[in-house]
A and B are shown apart, each in its own frame.
Chain A
Amino acid sequence: MRLTDEAILRESRGKLILLVFNNKGTRALEVNESFAFLWNKFSEIDFSVEDMASALVEEYGIDAEAAQIDASQTVSIWRESSLLKEE
Protein backbone atom coordinates (compact mmCIF):
# COMPACT_ATOMS: atom_id res chain seq x y z
CA MET A 1 0.00 0.00 0.00
CA ARG A 2 0.94 3.64 -0.39
CA LEU A 3 -0.12 6.92 1.19
CA THR A 4 -2.19 9.35 -0.83
CA ASP A 5 -0.30 12.17 -2.49
CA GLU A 6 -3.27 14.48 -1.91
CA ALA A 7 -2.23 15.29 1.65
CA ILE A 8 0.57 17.20 3.31
CA LEU A 9 1.71 17.26 6.91
CA ARG A 10 2.52 20.60 8.49
CA GLU A 11 3.68 21.74 11.91
CA SER A 12 2.39 25.13 13.00
CA ARG A 13 2.09 26.78 16.41
CA GLY A 14 3.04 23.53 18.12
CA LYS A 15 0.38 21.51 16.32
CA LEU A 16 0.80 18.73 13.77
CA ILE A 17 -1.82 19.08 11.06
CA LEU A 18 -2.53 16.81 8.13
CA LEU A 19 -4.13 18.74 5.27
CA VAL A 20 -6.03 16.66 2.74
CA PHE A 21 -6.84 18.24 -0.62
CA ASN A 22 -9.02 16.21 -2.95
CA ASN A 23 -12.11 16.49 -5.13
CA LYS A 24 -14.29 16.40 -2.00
CA GLY A 25 -12.69 19.61 -0.74
CA THR A 26 -10.13 20.36 1.95
CA ARG A 27 -9.88 18.64 5.33
CA ALA A 28 -7.54 19.56 8.17
CA LEU A 29 -6.82 16.90 10.78
CA GLU A 30 -4.81 17.44 13.94
CA VAL A 31 -2.60 14.37 14.45
CA ASN A 32 -0.22 13.11 17.15
CA GLU A 33 3.52 12.61 17.04
CA SER A 34 3.51 8.89 16.17
CA PHE A 35 1.01 9.50 13.36
CA ALA A 36 3.32 12.20 12.02
CA PHE A 37 6.36 9.96 12.38
CA LEU A 38 4.71 7.16 10.39
CA TRP A 39 3.39 9.60 7.79
CA ASN A 40 6.79 11.14 7.18
CA LYS A 41 8.53 7.75 7.17
CA PHE A 42 6.18 6.13 4.63
CA SER A 43 5.23 9.02 2.36
CA GLU A 44 5.97 8.33 -1.29
CA ILE A 45 7.02 4.68 -0.79
CA ASP A 46 5.26 1.31 -0.80
CA PHE A 47 4.97 -0.24 2.65
CA SER A 48 3.24 -2.93 4.72
CA VAL A 49 1.84 -3.09 8.28
CA GLU A 50 4.98 -5.06 9.21
CA ASP A 51 7.20 -2.23 7.90
CA MET A 52 5.26 0.20 10.07
CA ALA A 53 5.53 -2.02 13.16
CA SER A 54 9.29 -2.36 12.71
CA ALA A 55 9.63 1.40 12.38
CA LEU A 56 7.66 1.94 15.62
CA VAL A 57 9.86 -0.58 17.48
CA GLU A 58 12.99 1.14 16.24
CA GLU A 59 11.78 4.71 16.93
CA TYR A 60 9.96 4.28 20.24
CA GLY A 61 11.52 1.06 21.66
CA ILE A 62 8.13 -0.57 22.24
CA ASP A 63 7.67 -4.34 22.00
CA ALA A 64 6.85 -5.98 18.69
CA GLU A 65 3.32 -7.05 19.67
CA ALA A 66 2.26 -3.53 20.78
CA ALA A 67 3.87 -2.06 17.67
CA GLN A 68 1.90 -4.47 15.46
CA ILE A 69 -1.37 -3.42 17.15
CA ASP A 70 -0.54 0.32 16.81
CA ALA A 71 0.44 -0.12 13.17
CA SER A 72 -2.78 -2.03 12.36
CA GLN A 73 -4.91 0.61 14.09
CA THR A 74 -3.14 3.41 12.22
CA VAL A 75 -3.70 1.66 8.89
CA SER A 76 -7.40 1.29 9.74
CA ILE A 77 -7.63 5.02 10.43
CA TRP A 78 -5.79 5.87 7.21
CA ARG A 79 -8.09 3.54 5.25
CA GLU A 80 -11.29 4.97 6.80
CA SER A 81 -10.04 8.48 6.12
CA SER A 82 -9.24 7.65 2.47
CA LEU A 83 -5.57 8.35 3.01
CA LEU A 84 -4.37 5.14 1.35
CA LYS A 85 -3.87 4.23 -2.27
CA GLU A 86 -4.20 0.44 -2.40
CA GLU A 87 -3.60 -1.77 -5.40
Chain B
Amino acid sequence: MKLSKEFLVLLNAALSGKNPEGGEIDILTSASPDDWQRIAAISREQNVTGLVGDAVTNLPEKIAIPDNIFLYFLAEKEKCAIQGRRMAAIAKSVIHGFNDAGLNPILMKGPATAAFYPKPELRTFGDIDLFFYHDEFHKARDIAKSESGFMLASDGSFHFKKDDVDVDVHDGYFDLHISEENLPKVPSAEATLLMLSAHALKHACGTGVGIRQITDYAMACDALKGQYDPDKLDAAFKESGIIKWQSLLSSFIINILGIQIPCPGGKTISEEPLLKIIEEGGNFGHHAAGRSIVYGKSATKRKMDTFRRFLRRLPFSLKYAPKETFRTMLSLLGGNLHI
Protein backbone atom coordinates (compact mmCIF):
# COMPACT_ATOMS: atom_id res chain seq x y z
CA MET B 1 0.00 0.00 0.00
CA LYS B 2 1.39 3.41 -1.00
CA LEU B 3 2.54 5.64 1.87
CA SER B 4 0.24 8.67 1.84
CA LYS B 5 1.44 12.20 2.56
CA GLU B 6 -0.92 12.35 5.55
CA PHE B 7 0.63 9.19 7.01
CA LEU B 8 4.14 10.59 6.56
CA VAL B 9 3.21 13.87 8.26
CA LEU B 10 1.88 11.96 11.27
CA LEU B 11 4.81 9.55 11.38
CA ASN B 12 7.23 12.43 11.28
CA ALA B 13 5.37 14.14 14.14
CA ALA B 14 5.67 10.98 16.23
CA LEU B 15 9.36 10.52 15.45
CA SER B 16 10.24 14.14 16.17
CA GLY B 17 8.00 14.41 19.23
CA LYS B 18 6.55 17.63 17.78
CA ASN B 19 3.04 18.42 16.57
CA PRO B 20 2.63 19.09 12.84
CA GLU B 21 2.72 22.73 11.84
CA GLY B 22 2.25 25.04 8.83
CA GLY B 23 1.71 23.16 5.58
CA GLU B 24 1.52 19.86 7.46
CA ILE B 25 -1.58 21.07 9.29
CA ASP B 26 -3.12 21.98 5.91
CA ILE B 27 -2.48 18.45 4.63
CA LEU B 28 -4.28 16.94 7.61
CA THR B 29 -7.09 19.49 7.62
CA SER B 30 -7.97 18.62 4.04
CA ALA B 31 -7.85 14.83 4.64
CA SER B 32 -11.12 13.08 3.72
CA PRO B 33 -12.67 10.20 5.74
CA ASP B 34 -11.19 7.85 3.12
CA ASP B 35 -7.75 9.40 3.65
CA TRP B 36 -8.10 8.74 7.40
CA GLN B 37 -9.09 5.13 6.72
CA ARG B 38 -6.00 4.86 4.58
CA ILE B 39 -3.79 6.31 7.35
CA ALA B 40 -5.09 3.60 9.69
CA ALA B 41 -4.55 0.85 7.11
CA ILE B 42 -0.99 1.96 6.31
CA SER B 43 -0.14 2.25 10.01
CA ARG B 44 -1.36 -1.32 10.57
CA GLU B 45 0.52 -2.64 7.57
CA GLN B 46 3.74 -0.92 8.63
CA ASN B 47 3.24 -1.85 12.31
CA VAL B 48 3.45 1.72 13.61
CA THR B 49 -0.07 2.18 15.02
CA GLY B 50 1.29 3.17 18.44
CA LEU B 51 3.50 5.91 17.01
CA VAL B 52 0.94 7.26 14.55
CA GLY B 53 -1.76 6.87 17.22
CA ASP B 54 0.19 9.19 19.49
CA ALA B 55 0.47 11.81 16.75
CA VAL B 56 -3.23 11.53 15.87
CA THR B 57 -4.48 11.82 19.46
CA ASN B 58 -2.30 14.87 20.09
CA LEU B 59 -3.50 16.80 17.04
CA PRO B 60 -5.19 20.16 17.67
CA GLU B 61 -8.98 19.94 17.86
CA LYS B 62 -9.38 22.14 14.77
CA ILE B 63 -8.34 19.12 12.68
CA ALA B 64 -11.44 16.99 12.20
CA ILE B 65 -10.84 13.26 12.63
CA PRO B 66 -13.64 10.71 12.04
CA ASP B 67 -14.75 9.37 15.46
CA ASN B 68 -14.07 5.74 14.60
CA ILE B 69 -10.53 6.55 13.45
CA PHE B 70 -9.81 8.67 16.52
CA LEU B 71 -11.04 5.91 18.87
CA TYR B 72 -9.11 3.29 16.92
CA PHE B 73 -5.84 5.20 17.24
CA LEU B 74 -6.40 6.05 20.90
CA ALA B 75 -6.97 2.36 21.68
CA GLU B 76 -3.95 1.29 19.58
CA LYS B 77 -1.70 3.81 21.29
CA GLU B 78 -2.73 2.66 24.77
CA LYS B 79 -2.53 -1.02 23.83
CA CYS B 80 0.94 -0.48 22.42
CA ALA B 81 2.04 1.40 25.55
CA ILE B 82 0.77 -1.37 27.85
CA GLN B 83 2.49 -4.01 25.73
CA GLY B 84 5.67 -1.93 25.40
CA ARG B 85 5.99 -1.48 29.16
CA ARG B 86 5.34 -5.21 29.70
CA MET B 87 7.97 -6.21 27.13
CA ALA B 88 10.53 -3.80 28.61
CA ALA B 89 9.94 -5.31 32.07
CA ILE B 90 10.29 -8.86 30.71
CA ALA B 91 13.49 -7.96 28.83
CA LYS B 92 14.87 -6.45 32.03
CA SER B 93 14.02 -9.56 34.02
CA VAL B 94 15.58 -11.90 31.42
CA ILE B 95 18.77 -9.81 31.39
CA HIS B 96 18.89 -9.75 35.21
CA GLY B 97 18.45 -13.53 35.24
CA PHE B 98 21.56 -13.95 33.08
CA ASN B 99 23.43 -11.25 35.04
CA ASP B 100 22.77 -13.19 38.25
CA ALA B 101 24.51 -16.15 36.62
CA GLY B 102 27.51 -13.92 35.92
CA LEU B 103 26.72 -13.43 32.22
CA ASN B 104 26.43 -10.20 30.23
CA PRO B 105 23.74 -10.31 27.55
CA ILE B 106 23.40 -7.39 25.16
CA LEU B 107 19.93 -6.43 23.98
CA MET B 108 19.86 -6.19 20.20
CA LYS B 109 17.68 -5.52 17.14
CA GLY B 110 14.36 -3.70 17.60
CA PRO B 111 13.87 -3.73 21.38
CA ALA B 112 17.34 -2.24 21.85
CA THR B 113 16.22 0.79 19.86
CA ALA B 114 13.01 1.61 21.75
CA ALA B 115 14.99 3.93 24.03
CA PHE B 116 15.93 6.05 21.01
CA TYR B 117 12.29 7.01 20.33
CA PRO B 118 10.70 10.06 22.04
CA LYS B 119 8.21 7.67 23.70
CA PRO B 120 9.91 4.23 23.86
CA GLU B 121 6.77 2.33 24.87
CA LEU B 122 5.04 3.31 21.60
CA ARG B 123 7.49 1.40 19.41
CA THR B 124 5.70 -1.89 18.74
CA PHE B 125 7.60 -4.84 20.18
CA GLY B 126 7.82 -8.25 18.57
CA ASP B 127 10.24 -10.46 20.45
CA ILE B 128 13.37 -10.03 22.55
CA ASP B 129 16.76 -10.58 20.92
CA LEU B 130 19.90 -11.01 22.98
CA PHE B 131 23.54 -11.30 22.02
CA PHE B 132 26.32 -13.06 23.97
CA TYR B 133 29.98 -13.23 23.15
CA HIS B 134 30.94 -16.73 22.17
CA ASP B 135 32.53 -17.72 25.50
CA GLU B 136 29.35 -16.80 27.38
CA PHE B 137 26.91 -18.02 24.73
CA HIS B 138 27.27 -21.71 25.63
CA LYS B 139 26.83 -21.02 29.33
CA ALA B 140 23.70 -19.00 28.52
CA ARG B 141 22.38 -21.88 26.42
CA ASP B 142 22.89 -24.33 29.31
CA ILE B 143 21.01 -22.00 31.65
CA ALA B 144 18.15 -21.46 29.18
CA LYS B 145 17.64 -25.19 28.58
CA SER B 146 15.28 -25.35 31.54
CA GLU B 147 13.13 -22.46 30.24
CA SER B 148 9.81 -23.20 28.54
CA GLY B 149 9.83 -23.58 24.76
CA PHE B 150 13.61 -24.00 24.57
CA MET B 151 14.74 -24.75 20.99
CA LEU B 152 17.99 -24.72 19.05
CA ALA B 153 17.90 -23.13 15.60
CA SER B 154 19.84 -24.26 12.54
CA ASP B 155 22.05 -21.16 12.67
CA GLY B 156 23.20 -22.05 16.18
CA SER B 157 21.05 -19.48 17.97
CA PHE B 158 18.54 -20.64 20.56
CA HIS B 159 15.06 -19.68 21.55
CA PHE B 160 12.90 -19.84 24.67
CA LYS B 161 9.78 -18.23 26.08
CA LYS B 162 9.52 -15.91 29.04
CA ASP B 163 5.98 -15.03 30.13
CA ASP B 164 4.75 -15.97 26.65
CA VAL B 165 7.24 -13.66 24.97
CA ASP B 166 9.73 -15.10 22.44
CA VAL B 167 13.36 -14.67 23.40
CA ASP B 168 15.99 -15.31 20.68
CA VAL B 169 19.62 -15.57 21.73
CA HIS B 170 22.46 -15.16 19.23
CA ASP B 171 26.24 -15.44 19.24
CA GLY B 172 26.48 -13.14 16.23
CA TYR B 173 25.54 -9.48 16.52
CA PHE B 174 25.29 -8.54 12.87
CA ASP B 175 22.97 -10.04 10.22
CA LEU B 176 25.97 -10.33 7.94
CA HIS B 177 27.73 -13.37 6.58
CA ILE B 178 31.26 -12.25 7.40
CA SER B 179 33.58 -12.61 10.36
CA GLU B 180 32.70 -10.08 13.03
CA GLU B 181 36.33 -9.69 14.04
CA ASN B 182 36.94 -6.68 11.80
CA LEU B 183 33.61 -5.02 12.55
CA PRO B 184 32.93 -2.45 15.32
CA LYS B 185 33.24 -3.75 18.85
CA VAL B 186 30.00 -4.67 20.62
CA PRO B 187 28.58 -2.73 22.39
CA SER B 188 29.32 0.60 20.72
CA ALA B 189 27.33 3.23 18.87
CA GLU B 190 28.94 2.16 15.57
CA ALA B 191 28.04 -1.50 16.24
CA THR B 192 24.41 -0.60 17.04
CA LEU B 193 24.04 1.34 13.79
CA LEU B 194 25.69 -1.33 11.64
CA MET B 195 23.56 -4.02 13.30
CA LEU B 196 20.31 -2.13 12.59
CA SER B 197 21.29 -1.29 9.02
CA ALA B 198 22.29 -4.91 8.28
CA HIS B 199 19.08 -6.17 9.88
CA ALA B 200 16.96 -3.94 7.62
CA LEU B 201 19.05 -5.02 4.62
CA LYS B 202 18.51 -8.71 5.38
CA HIS B 203 14.76 -8.24 5.28
CA ALA B 204 14.86 -5.89 2.27
CA CYS B 205 16.68 -8.61 0.32
CA GLY B 206 14.36 -11.34 1.55
CA THR B 207 10.71 -11.31 2.53
CA GLY B 208 10.56 -7.52 2.75
CA VAL B 209 11.16 -4.59 5.04
CA GLY B 210 8.72 -2.14 6.62
CA ILE B 211 8.83 1.40 7.90
CA ARG B 212 9.41 0.30 11.50
CA GLN B 213 12.73 -1.36 10.69
CA ILE B 214 13.76 1.84 8.92
CA THR B 215 12.65 4.14 11.74
CA ASP B 216 14.65 1.99 14.18
CA TYR B 217 17.81 2.87 12.27
CA ALA B 218 16.76 6.52 11.83
CA MET B 219 16.00 7.00 15.53
CA ALA B 220 19.23 5.29 16.59
CA CYS B 221 21.25 7.42 14.18
CA ASP B 222 19.60 10.58 15.46
CA ALA B 223 19.88 9.68 19.15
CA LEU B 224 23.50 8.53 18.89
CA LYS B 225 24.61 11.71 17.11
CA GLY B 226 27.97 12.74 18.56
CA GLN B 227 28.57 9.30 20.04
CA TYR B 228 29.81 7.66 16.86
CA ASP B 229 32.50 8.48 14.38
CA PRO B 230 30.87 8.82 10.90
CA ASP B 231 34.18 7.93 9.18
CA LYS B 232 34.57 4.81 11.31
CA LEU B 233 30.96 3.87 10.55
CA ASP B 234 31.45 4.36 6.80
CA ALA B 235 34.55 2.18 7.04
CA ALA B 236 32.45 -0.54 8.73
CA PHE B 237 29.82 -0.29 5.96
CA LYS B 238 32.60 -0.62 3.36
CA GLU B 239 34.17 -3.56 5.22
CA SER B 240 30.75 -5.24 5.25
CA GLY B 241 30.20 -4.53 1.55
CA ILE B 242 26.95 -2.66 2.17
CA ILE B 243 27.94 0.95 1.48
CA LYS B 244 25.50 1.30 -1.47
CA TRP B 245 22.68 -0.07 0.67
CA GLN B 246 23.64 2.44 3.33
CA SER B 247 23.36 5.27 0.80
CA LEU B 248 19.90 4.03 -0.14
CA LEU B 249 18.79 3.68 3.48
CA SER B 250 20.09 7.12 4.45
CA SER B 251 18.50 8.68 1.36
CA PHE B 252 15.12 7.19 2.23
CA ILE B 253 15.35 8.51 5.79
CA ILE B 254 16.39 12.00 4.64
CA ASN B 255 14.05 12.31 1.63
CA ILE B 256 10.95 10.48 2.87
CA LEU B 257 11.06 10.64 6.66
CA GLY B 258 12.63 14.12 6.72
CA ILE B 259 15.21 13.16 9.36
CA GLN B 260 18.67 14.58 8.74
CA ILE B 261 21.31 11.88 9.19
CA PRO B 262 24.75 11.47 7.58
CA CYS B 263 24.72 9.85 4.15
CA PRO B 264 27.81 8.03 2.82
CA GLY B 265 29.61 10.22 0.31
CA GLY B 266 27.61 13.21 1.55
CA LYS B 267 24.88 13.11 -1.10
CA THR B 268 21.58 11.29 -1.39
CA ILE B 269 20.49 8.94 -4.15
CA SER B 270 17.01 7.97 -5.35
CA GLU B 271 15.08 6.24 -2.55
CA GLU B 272 12.53 4.73 -4.98
CA PRO B 273 13.79 1.10 -4.90
CA LEU B 274 13.48 0.94 -1.11
CA LEU B 275 10.16 2.79 -1.10
CA LYS B 276 8.81 0.20 -3.53
CA ILE B 277 9.75 -2.70 -1.23
CA ILE B 278 8.28 -0.97 1.82
CA GLU B 279 5.01 -0.22 0.05
CA GLU B 280 4.79 -3.69 -1.42
CA GLY B 281 4.93 -5.77 1.75
CA GLY B 282 4.89 -3.57 4.85
CA ASN B 283 6.26 -4.86 8.13
CA PHE B 284 8.84 -7.61 7.36
CA GLY B 285 6.95 -8.14 4.08
CA HIS B 286 4.06 -9.79 5.94
CA HIS B 287 1.52 -8.01 3.72
CA ALA B 288 3.09 -8.85 0.37
CA ALA B 289 0.82 -10.66 -2.07
CA GLY B 290 0.70 -14.36 -1.25
CA ARG B 291 2.83 -14.10 1.90
CA SER B 292 -0.03 -14.56 4.38
CA ILE B 293 -0.94 -17.87 2.70
CA VAL B 294 2.28 -19.51 3.93
CA TYR B 295 1.76 -18.61 7.59
CA GLY B 296 0.63 -21.68 9.45
CA LYS B 297 2.06 -23.90 6.74
CA SER B 298 5.05 -26.23 7.26
CA ALA B 299 8.53 -24.83 7.82
CA THR B 300 9.58 -26.21 4.42
CA LYS B 301 6.80 -24.35 2.60
CA ARG B 302 7.68 -21.13 4.44
CA LYS B 303 11.35 -21.60 3.59
CA MET B 304 10.53 -22.17 -0.06
CA ASP B 305 8.42 -19.01 -0.11
CA THR B 306 11.27 -17.06 1.51
CA PHE B 307 13.70 -18.49 -1.03
CA ARG B 308 11.42 -17.51 -3.94
CA ARG B 309 11.17 -13.98 -2.59
CA PHE B 310 14.94 -13.83 -2.11
CA LEU B 311 15.43 -14.83 -5.75
CA ARG B 312 12.87 -12.29 -6.96
CA ARG B 313 14.73 -9.60 -5.05
CA LEU B 314 18.14 -10.53 -6.50
CA PRO B 315 18.41 -7.57 -8.92
CA PHE B 316 17.90 -5.24 -5.95
CA SER B 317 20.23 -7.17 -3.65
CA LEU B 318 23.00 -7.46 -6.23
CA LYS B 319 22.82 -3.76 -6.94
CA TYR B 320 22.87 -2.49 -3.35
CA ALA B 321 24.78 -5.19 -1.45
CA PRO B 322 26.52 -7.47 -3.99
CA LYS B 323 29.08 -9.00 -1.63
CA GLU B 324 26.58 -9.73 1.12
CA THR B 325 24.14 -11.16 -1.44
CA PHE B 326 26.80 -13.52 -2.75
CA ARG B 327 27.68 -14.63 0.79
CA THR B 328 23.97 -15.09 1.59
CA MET B 329 23.53 -17.28 -1.50
CA LEU B 330 26.38 -19.50 -0.38
CA SER B 331 24.74 -19.75 3.01
CA LEU B 332 21.37 -20.60 1.44
CA LEU B 333 22.98 -23.30 -0.63
CA GLY B 334 24.33 -24.67 2.63
CA GLY B 335 20.73 -24.99 3.81
CA ASN B 336 20.97 -22.29 6.39
CA LEU B 337 17.82 -20.43 5.42
CA HIS B 338 16.15 -18.37 8.10
CA ILE B 339 12.58 -17.10 8.09
- Is A28 in contact with B61, judged by CB distance below 8 angstroms? no
Complex CA distance for A12 and B59, rounded to whole angstroms? 9
Is B78 an interface residue, CB under 8 A from the partner? yes
Instruction: Quote the shortest CB–CB distance from B71 to chain A (angstroms).
Output: 4
Among the 9-residue stretches A14-22, A38-46, A57-65, A66-74, the one with 4 or more Cβ atoms under 8 Å from chain B is: A14-22
Instruction: Quote the shortest CB–CB distance from B336 to chain A (angstroms).
Output: 39
- Is A21 in contact with B82, judged by CB distance below 8 angstroms? yes
Closest to A21 in B: B79
Residues of A within 8 A of B70 (CB): 12-13, 15
Is A8 an interface residue, CB under 8 A from the partner? yes
Is B75 an interface residue, CB under 8 A from the partner? yes
- 1/0 per position for B72-98, CB-CB distance to A under 8 A? 101100110010000000000000000
- Is B75 in contact with A19, judged by CB distance below 8 angstroms? yes
Among A13, A26, A30, the residue within 8 A (CB) of B75 is A26
Is B57 an interface residue, CB under 8 A from the partner? yes
Given contacts A17-B71, A28-B71, contact A10 B78 (CB under 8 A): yes
Residues of B within 8 A of A17 (CB): 71, 74
Query: How many residues on the A side are at the interface (Cβ–Cβ under 8 A)?
Result: 12
Residues of B within 8 A of A15 (CB): 70
Residues of A within 8 A of B74 (CB): 10, 12, 17, 19, 28
Complex CA distance for A63 and B54, rounded to whole angstroms? 41
**B interface: dominant SS:** helix
Complex CA distance for A19 and B82, rounded to whole angstroms? 12
Instruction: Quote the shortest CB–CB distance from A55 to chain B (angstroms).
Output: 26
Residues of B within 8 A of A21 (CB): 75, 78-79, 82
- Is B78 in contact with A8, judged by CB distance below 8 angstroms? yes
Max chain A CB contacts within 10 Å: which of B59, B61, B78, B79? B78
Closest to B60 in A: A13
- Is B78 in contact with A19, judged by CB distance below 8 angstroms? yes
Residues of B within 8 A of A26 (CB): 75, 79
Residues of B within 8 A of A28 (CB): 71-72, 74-75
Max chain A CB contacts within 10 Å: which of B58, B59, B74? B74
Residues of B within 8 A of A8 (CB): 78
- Is A12 in contact with B75, judged by CB distance below 8 angstroms? no
Complex CA distance for A21 and B78, rounded to whole angstroms? 10
Complex CA distance for A17 and B70, rounded to whole angstroms? 11
- Is A14 in contact with B71, judged by CB distance below 8 angstroms? no
Residues of A within 8 A of B58 (CB): 12
Instruction: Quote the shortest CB–CB distance from B205 to chain A (angstroms).
Output: 36
Closest to A28 in B: B71
Complex CA distance for A10 and B76, rounded to whole angstroms? 13
- Can you name 9 extra interface pairs (CB under 8 A) apart from A10-B78, A19-B74? A10-B74, A13-B70, A15-B70, A17-B74, A19-B78, A21-B78, A21-B82, A26-B79, A30-B71
**A-B pairs with beta carbons under 8 Å apart, 9 shown:** A10-B74, A10-B78, A12-B70, A13-B61, A13-B70, A17-B74, A21-B82, A28-B72, A28-B74
Instruction: Point out residues on B near A: beta carbons under 8 Å.
Output: 57-59, 61, 65, 70-72, 74-75, 78-79, 82
Kindly list the 5 A-B residue pairs having the minimum CB-CB distance in the complex, ordered from nearest: A28-B71, A12-B57, A26-B75, A28-B75, A13-B61
